[in-house]
Amino acid sequence: MLDVLRDRVFGRLFTAQVVALMGTGLSTVALGLLAYDLAGGSAGAVLGTALAIKMVAYVGVAPVIAAVTDRVPRRVLLVSADVVRAVVALALPFVDQVWQIYVLIFVLQAASATFTPAFQSLIPSVLPREADYTRALSLSRLAYDLEAVCSPLLAAVALTVIDYHALFLGTVAGFVGSAVLVLTTALPPVPSAERRAPLTARIVAGARVMAGRPVLRGLLALNLVVAAATALVLVNTVVYVRDLLGGTDTGVAVALGAYGAGSMLVALGMPRLLTDIADRAVMLAGAAVIATGLGGTTLLLTAEPGRWLGWAGMLGLWAMLGAGTSLINTPSARLLRYQTAEEDRAAVFTAQFSLSHAGFLLTYPLAGWVGTGVGQVAAAAVSAAIATLAAITAARLWPAREPTALVAAR
């Protein structure tokens, strides 16, 4: 897998991604502590609102910015987004009102919604060979999983010697480092977009492409499967560990680590797996794993096992859910590459970025509100039902005989 890093351009871009991710992870820890300073016991509500703002920016802002900036050179776009993110991170330690957090988070996430799809759509041009691109996707998945594990640990070590406000400087350094690496890398040329269509048509162009192709319609349904699993894990793990299993904050980290470990193990084996098995079979297997894992979670919560059996069951199920999400997420960019011409790629990657996060606007509130208002068994059951229905829909929308590659379809 690491052979792909020998490509100088990809190696520098991957390093930029890792550096920016580590900075983002530090800001996540620092933002939670800042929210507690400003809101005390209401910090959870502040962070929940900030998370909702993040999703709104991803869903609503990304397509608009992509359409407006479709003729801006990729280097200028990526560096500008990093600069905006660095400036926002630099301003966060100085806020003294909750509303200021909301405004800055919206700007920060709007910049991320600009950077991420543009960055992802560039990689297929950097690595035209399918095998190299698949390895790059696995490395990218690993980078996200490792960031989720390493950033909190790095922040914990740093906080023994510095104030949490200084963590934001680490975030600034991450974004500046990313900008420098992109600025000094020879990026491949990307065809300019046509401007004959009006702005409104360009905003929805990527979504129209996805809706018009059976393979990508199936991917849209699979995005909802991932959202159902991820929301239950991220929203309710702390409740399961603290209230149902009598665990501590360390236990929460261990549980989330099991989820990340399952994802990483699959990502490591994905290049070889996709060599032997079709993308559709791999991704639908991931959907089945997630639906089964969420069903198992429902049964585990219903049975109310003892502490040790409860821990063993949850860690196993969380690893299972992580594996299922990686089986879907890692190959998804391959589908976007196969199903688009190069001039449409940025718009389609943006649409996938936006629409995949739209699922979280449904599943995040459901996981939290149903768990709080009705009970954790009901929350798990609802998540399992959503994942199962979405998996069945994906299998029907993506016919088994439909060619994965657009060239083959022609």
Output the pLDDT for position 271: 84
* Range with lowest mean pLDDT among 159-163, 212-216, 295-299, 403-407: 403-407
Rounded mean pLDDT of 209-234? 90
pLDDT tens digit sequence for 98-136: 889 889 989 998 898 888 888 888 888 888 888 888 888
The C-alpha atoms of residue 153 and residue 95 are separated, in whole angstroms, by 25
In this prediction the pTM is 0.78
316 vs 3, more confident:
316
Which of 266, 24, 264 shows the shortest CA–CA distance to 151?
24
Instruction: Tell me the pLDDT band of 27, cut-offs 50, 70 and 90.
Output: confident
The C-alpha atoms of residue 112 and residue 62 are separated, in whole angstroms, by 9
Q: What is the DSSP string of 211-267?
A: HTSHHHHHHHHHHHHHHHHHHHHHHHHHHIIIIIS---HHHHHHHHHHHHHHHHHHH
255 vs 222, more confident:
222
Beta-strand runs (E) in 353-399: none
49-54 contacts at long range (C-beta below 8 A, 24 or more positions apart): 49/102, 50/101, 50/102, 50/105, 51/364, 52/361, 52/364, 53/102, 53/105, 53/106, 53/109, 54/105, 54/109
Whether the predicted pLDDT of 55 surpasses 80 = yes
Which of 336, 330, 333 shows the shortest CA–CA distance to 348?
336
Whether the predicted pLDDT of 410 surpasses 60 = no
Those residues with Cβ within 8 angstroms of residue 205's Cβ, 6 or more apart along the chain or in another chain: 67, 197, 344, 347, 351
Report residue 213 as tokens: 């192709």
Rounded mean pLDDT of 399-405? 75
87 vs 142, more confident:
87
